[in-house]
Amino acid sequence: MIWKVIQNPTLGCNSFLIGDEISGQGVVVDPLAQVGVEAYILSAHDLGMQIIEVLETHVHADHVSCALDLTKELSVPYRISRHAPAVFAFTPLADDTRLHYGALAIDVWETPGHTKDSVSLILYDLARGLDPWAVLTGDSLFVGDVGRPDLVDAGETAVRLAALDQYHSIQRLMTLPDWTELWPAHYGSSPCGGIFMNRRPQSTIGYERRFNPFVHMSDPDIFVEETLRYLKPPPEEAESIRTANLTA
Ligand SMILES: [Fe+2]
């Protein structure tokens, strides 16, 4: 497999280049404007990877994306959830869809909660086996934490419903095998998470199953209450960044 993680440590962001080394086909996931279109294209060139599509796990509210600019530069599809309220044209991702790029397969799971359009991407190396090897969880499951449910919908009822969605998304992610690598979109002190978010950018499903306090909350009501209890103040610029990411 082709695999490269490009990070912005200041914002606590992970972005990814993932591909099949035999066919050379691959994707970029959650590219960051602060890294820049050119850096992703040069990285793909260095890796011997042709960027077939650009995927996003959700419409981000903490950083400006360069996904749309990257797709325009390369004339490739921009893929985001079918629930994304973007005003520009995109190729929708739907639940339980499998994408193929040579031996790299990616299953799309809708994992709402942080946003309605949140998806997780389960990665398979079909040249080696049929089991998943990693999952990109966006802002659903973090290392030691879960994504906050209050950056889009205001009002206690809407936030509670979003937190309940997050509960079911986390339960679904826990059906993955222990060895599955966990790569969220954020780590450290990212404003998309809470006070328990770990500084490590990566974990495994098995480790989170054992030690993530939110995974241990089997009662959805307790999960919702605890999620709301530990919310940090929302970042001031969230709305303007989200608007920028929703428009061309
Ligand atoms: Fe987010």
Question: What are the residue boundaries of the structural domains of the chain, listed by start?
Answer: 2-233
32 CA to centre of ligand 1 in angstroms: 12
At 119, which amino acid appears?
Answer: V
CB-based burial label for 124 (10 Å; 0-12, 13-18, 19+): buried
Distance CA 39, CA 37 (A): 6
140 CA to centre of ligand 1 in angstroms: 9
Q: What is the pLDDT of residue 223?
A: 97
233 CA to centre of ligand 1 in angstroms: 15
CB atoms within 10 A of CB 221: 11
139 CA to centre of ligand 1 in angstroms: 5
Q: What is the pLDDT of residue 219?
A: 97
Largest CA distance in the chain: 50
192 CA to centre of ligand 1 in angstroms: 5
End-to-end CA distance of the chain: 32
**Bridge partners, residue 26, by sequence:** 19, 51
Q: What is the DSSP letter of 199?
A: S
121 CA to centre of ligand 1 in angstroms: 15
Q: Which long-range contacts (CB under 8 A, 24 or more apart) does 97-102 make?
A: 99/27, 99/53, 101/19, 101/20, 101/23, 101/25, 101/26, 101/27, 101/52, 101/53, 102/19, 102/20, 102/22, 102/23, 102/24, 102/25
3-class SS of residue 82:
coil
Distance CA 77, CA 71 (A): 6
- Structural contact between residues 205 and 178, judged by C-beta atoms closer than 8 angstroms: yes
- Structural contact between residues 215 and 227, judged by C-beta atoms closer than 8 angstroms: no
38 CA to centre of ligand 1 in angstroms: 23
Distance CA 244, CA 248 (A): 8
133 CA to centre of ligand 1 in angstroms: 23
Q: What is the pLDDT of residue 91?
A: 96
Q: Which residues of the chain register pLDDT less than 70?
A: 248
3-class SS of residue 77:
coil
59 CA to centre of ligand 1 in angstroms: 7
Distance CA 111, CA 127 (A): 27
Q: What is the pLDDT of residue 234?
A: 81
57 CA to centre of ligand 1 in angstroms: 9
129 CA to centre of ligand 1 in angstroms: 31
Distance CA 230, CA 215 (A): 15
Q: What is the pLDDT of residue 38?
A: 98
Distance CA 245, CA 248 (A): 8
152 CA to centre of ligand 1 in angstroms: 10
CATH number at 2-233: 3.60.15.10
Distance CA 47, CA 36 (A): 17
Segment 1-19, tens digit of pLDDT: 999 999 999 999 999 999 9
122 CA to centre of ligand 1 in angstroms: 18
179 CA to centre of ligand 1 in angstroms: 25
101 CA to centre of ligand 1 in angstroms: 26
Q: What is the pLDDT of residue 153?
A: 72
58 CA to centre of ligand 1 in angstroms: 7
72 CA to centre of ligand 1 in angstroms: 23
- Structural contact between residues 190 and 13, judged by C-beta atoms closer than 8 angstroms: yes
